[in-house]
Chains A and B, each alone.
Chain A
Amino acid sequence: MADIQEKIAKLCPEAQFDTTGELLLVTVADEKWHDLAKALKEQLGFDYLNALVGVDWKDSLGVMYYLTNTETQDMIHVKVATTDRETPRLHTVSDLWAVANFQEREVYDFFGIEFINHPDMRRFFLRTDWVGYPLRKDYDMDEKLNPIRLNPEPNEDDTYSLVEDADGNLKRIDKKVFGPDEYVINIGPQHPSTHGVLRYRTSIEGELVKKVDVVSGYIHRGIEKLSEGLTYQSGLLYSERMDYMAAHMNRHCLCLCIEKALGIEVPHRAELIRMMMDELMRLSSHLLSYGCLTMDQGATTAFFYPFRERELVYDIFDKNCGARMSMSYDTIGGVTMDVQPDFVDDVRHACDVIEAHIPEYHKLFSKNVIALGRMKGTGVLTREQAINYAVGGPTGRASGFHCDVRKTHPYSLYNEVEFDEITYNNGDSYDRYMLRLKEMEESIKILRQCCDMMEKEEGHEFCAKVPKLIKLPKGHWYQQVEASRGPIGVYLESDGDPKPFQKPYRLHYQSPCFNLIGVVDLTCKDNLIADLITITASLDYVIPDIDR
């Protein structure tokens, strides 16, 4: 760490450093930020932007950038802030890390921070006629300002960018998303193959896709703002309702983050149970993904097979957590209740059944001529693009990017079990599809090892002693967990409020699916419009996870 600090100090003498937190914090003024960012990426190899978190510190508005060097897995974070609350402006980094394009639009939507030189400054989640910036601390919640509007959104084709010339003068350039000659097709928000309520505006030439404009926010529920109004324990519930197909992982991540901040050690048994639930959830999620992908290509029969096996996983959840979905099982310090006595037998049985059926899935679909024709060579994402767009999880690994958080930053007990990180090299739809089926085998491998560990487990404690009223010291923490669609990150900031019911000052979820829609335009370009459905199905995003 000290080594990196020295190097950064050499690059940018004005930067301030803080080593008291979990990671090195670099504070830099906005004028120097873009140059430093460029140097960080090109000279120090910080090529992966984990998260870009907008925060309102009351006296200033700003952004936290979490950066990773994918070679050495070093992580740092940079704070850039502005005290101007009327017209807050920062410099964009979307030209360096492509993932920042959508993330900066999110920050603009929530905090009103305009990014200088950003190519497309539009709202992302909220309606174009929305009044105010909801995540600011002084946001007016009055229903009269923003009633339920039933008219279509005005000016949805308008956008602008603030361009800075060599002398530092800003000029606002108004533009349109699509040119007057472009033929635009609307897909969504209610469409069977967008897997929820996502909308694409697609410009086509003949049958080839030229540009995809993603319009999101049809299920934006303001989870981050809602979390600021609840205590740490009660705020846990929202984590499960984002990516409901990775409910255990999301909750696990938030719990780990709070435990890290509190300094609680979780009992071995609890971590083991959590890890098993995570892997079961991954199985269930990949099975669903297989079912949906096949159905989107017309193989309706193949849809029914994975659902038969998913019920086994759901039965385990039902028996041990008390619900089929939205389990509310993980809690701060462990899990809410111990597993049933026959848990291990159930898991072994489910593993056996699912493993026996994986060849059947391959038989049904993997060699099908339509499947091969539509998935081989379509929607190619290279390794460099995957890193630049910060796409992790199965999609990143299908492009040959080693990004499994279970391997790179092991949490829970993942360093005690043996499993392989599956990677493919072509990065097309077919690789993403095959990778999920292969990854299920790895999950089964992990689950079997966990079952052995569970049988030898001597501890009976399933939850550590946690104070009833949780008070975190002033500070911020970031935690990553490998969810079923990629790494989910939780940014938690506490202001050290001494009042009895402390609430998080800022809670941000860096959801994997948010990054996945960033590559839709890239992967669909110059493909057939019919293949847009296949490509997006193979990316396998969950819309409520994007919108939060």
Chain B
Amino acid sequence: MKWEDFKDNEYIDQLLAELNASGTNVVVGKFNQLLQWGHANSLWPFSFGTSCCAIEFMCLGAARYDMARFGAEVARNSPRQADYIMCMGTITYRMAPALVRLYEQMAEPKYVIACGACTVSGGPFTKSYCVVKGIDDIIPVDVYMPGCPPRPEAMFYGLMQLQRKIKISKWFGGDARKEKRAKFFEAKAQEEKDAALRAELMKAAQESKEPVLDL
């Protein structure tokens, strides 16, 4: 992959622009950089493997692909020791409460990688009666990795994008992550409210049997 292609990520460019615009003290800034560099290169995954993608994740840990090169080989099974959730495999309605709970149990700063088509959008199971259509319905996601399952190379690409994101975020001061999560849940609540309101309006319109004005 060419460097230009690797860097072609509007989302991170936007974050970088925000970071540059806000400005910071030289000493704090340098210390911040050091911390983020260390953090980005020792990411411990919380291996949340539910199906096929987990097998490819095991291949990542094994000799040929060797995740240790990125400092990410310490797959933890406790959410309290991990930096990010690597969510691999379909999330069903029965599993959803467990996933949210595990996410809440993780210590800040925390990140989420949605690995595989099922976690991104429901994948081949979108039409099912009990599959969550993308885990961003229930928890905020930082990196999406499409593929069914993604190849190990694609997983590394996603991991490196997460590293890039961490390197440019702020450790001190404006804690973007917490804010972002608050925003995420607010937006979700708002969405639900809107949907309820719309449904109510529709119901009222249907009951009154008057022609609905298309505004």
Interface of chain B residues 42 through 82 with chain A (CB within 8 A)? 47-52, 54-56, 58-59, 62-64, 77
* Cross-chain contact B62 with A308 (CB below 8 angstroms): yes
* Closest-CB distance, B73 to chain A (whole angstroms): 11
Q: Mark A102-140, 1 if CB is under 8 A from B, else 0.
A: 000000000000000000000001110000001000010
* Cβ–Cβ < 8 Å partners of B49 in chain A: 196
- From A196, A222, A326, B129 is in contact (CB under 8 Å) with A222
Give, as a whole number of angstroms, the nearest-CB distance from A245 to chain B: 7
Chain A residues with CB under 8 A of B77: 190-192
Given contacts A218-B50, A218-B95, A325-B55, contact A146 B129 (CB under 8 A): yes
**A219 engages B90 (CB within 8 Å):** yes
Whether a CB of chain A sits under 8 angstroms from the CB of B191 is: no
B9 at the interface (CB under 8 A from A): no
CB distance from B111 to the nearest CB of A (A): 18
Is residue A53 contacting chain B, with contact meaning CB distance below 8 A?
no
CA distance A125 to B93 in the complex (A): 11
Would you give 16 A-B contacts (Cβ < 8 Å), ordered by A? A141-B129, A148-B137, A149-B96, A150-B97, A153-B94, A190-B98, A191-B77, A196-B51, A219-B51, A226-B125, A229-B127, A288-B58, A291-B58, A303-B62, A307-B58, A326-B52
Residues of B near A191 (CB, < 8 A) are 77
8 Å CB interface, A311-327 against B = 311, 314, 324-326
Nearest chain B CB to A544 CB, angstrom units = 4
Q: Are A220 and B97 in contact (CB under 8 A)?
A: no
Q: Closest A residue to B75 by CB, please name it.
A: A192
Q: Does B169 touch A at the CB level, under 8 Å?
A: no
Nearest Cβ distance between residue A224 and chain B, in whole angstroms? Answer: 10
Residues of A within 8 A of B59 (CB): 307, 310-311, 314, 324
Contacts of A501 on B, CB cut-off 8 Å? none
Distance, CA A308 to CA B65, complexed state (A):
10
Residues of B within 8 A of A197 (CB): 50, 95, 98
Interface size of A by CB at 8 A reads: 48
Q: How far is the CA of A303 from the CA of B62 in the complex (A)?
A: 8
Type the 1/0 row for B139-163, where 1 means its CB is closer than 8 Å to any CB of A. Answer: 0000000001101000000000000
Q: In whole Å, how far is A495's beta carbon from the nearest beta carbon of chain B?
A: 21
Question: Do B92 and A219 touch (CB < 8 A)?
Answer: yes
Name the CB-closest residue of B to A144. Answer: B199
The complex places the Cα of A304 from the Cα of B59 at a distance, in Å, of: 9
Which residues on the A side are within 8 Å of B95 (C-beta)?
189, 197, 218-219
Instruction: Out of A153, A226, A241, name the residue touching B51 (CB < 8 Å).
Output: A241
Q: Decide if B138 is an interface residue (CB 8 Å cutoff).
A: yes
Asked if B93 and A219 make an inter-chain contact with CB atoms under 8 angstroms apart, the answer reads no
Across the interface, do B51 and A544 meet the contact criterion of CB distance under 8 Å? Answer: yes
- B132 CB–A CB distance under 8 Å: yes
Q: Is B131 located at the chain interface by the 8 A CB criterion?
A: yes
Binding site for B on A (CB under 8 A): 125-127, 134, 139, 141, 146, 148-153, 189-192, 196-197, 217-223, 225-226, 229, 237-238, 241, 244-245, 288, 291, 303-304, 307-308, 310-311, 314, 324-326, 543-544
**Docked CA distance A368–B70 (Å):** 33
Instruction: Please indicate the chain B residues that have their CB under 8 angstroms from the CB of A190 in the complex.
Output: 48, 77, 98, 102
Interchain nearest-CB distance for A221 vs B (Å): 5
Residues of A within 8 A of B128 (CB): 221-222, 225-226
Interface residue count on the B side (C-beta < 8 Å): 39
B95-108 to A contact mask, C-beta < 8 Å, 1/0: 11110101000000
B124 and A241 contact, CB distance less than 8 A: yes
Which residues of B lie under 8 Å from residue A220 when comparing CB positions?
92, 94, 130
Rounded to whole angstroms, the CA-CA distance of A134 and B129 in the bound complex is 8
Closest to A192 in B: B77
Known contacts: A218-B94, A237-B124, A324-B151. The answer to whether A196 contacts B54 by CB under 8 A is yes
Contact A218 B92 (CB under 8 A): yes
A544 adjacent to B52 (CB under 8 Å): yes
Question: B52, A244: Cβ atoms under 8 Å?
Answer: yes
**Nearest CB to that of A307 among chain B residues?**
B62
Q: CB distance B130 to A146 under 8 Å? A: yes
Quote the shortest CB–CB distance from A92 to chain B (angstroms). 25
Which of A139, A149, A238 lies in contact with B124, CB distance below 8 A? Answer: A238
Asked if A148 and B132 make an inter-chain contact with CB atoms under 8 angstroms apart, the answer reads yes
Report whether A244 and B55 are in contact in the complex, using a CB–CB cutoff of 8 Å. yes
3 tightest A-B contacts by CB?
A307-B62, A192-B77, A244-B52
**Shortest CB distance A448–B (Å):** 25
Q: Is the CB of A126 within 8 A of B55?
A: no
Residue numbers in A under 8 Å from B148 (CB-CB): 326
Measured CA separation A219–B131 after assembly (Å): 9
Q: In whole Å, how far is A322's beta carbon from the nearest beta carbon of chain B?
A: 11
Residues of B within 8 A of A226 (CB): 124-125, 127-128
- Closest CB-CB distance, A361 to chain B, in whole Å? 15
Question: In the complex, what residues of A have CB within 8 A of residue B138's CB?
Answer: 148, 150
| Residue in contact with A148 in the complex, picked from B48, B96, B124, CB distance below 8 Å | B96
Which of B48, B62, B63, B130 has the most A CB atoms < 10 Å from its CB? B130
Which of A148, A221, A307 interacts with B90 by CB under 8 Å? A221
Instruction: Give Cα A481–Cα B94 distance, bound, in whole angstroms.
Output: 31
Having A218-B94, A221-B128, A307-B62, one finds 17 other A-B pairs with CB under 8 Å, namely A127-B93, A152-B97, A190-B102, A192-B47, A217-B92, A221-B92, A226-B128, A241-B51, A241-B124, A244-B51, A288-B55, A307-B58, A310-B62, A326-B149, A543-B51, A544-B51, A544-B90
Q: How far is the CA of A237 from the CA of B93 in the complex (A)?
A: 22
Expressed in whole angstroms, the minimum distance between the Cβ of A204 and any Cβ of chain B is 21
CA distance A544 to B98 in the complex (A): 17
Query: Please, which residues of chain A bring their CB within 8 A of the CB of B64?
Result: 307-308, 311
- Minimal Cβ-Cβ distance residue in A for B148: A326
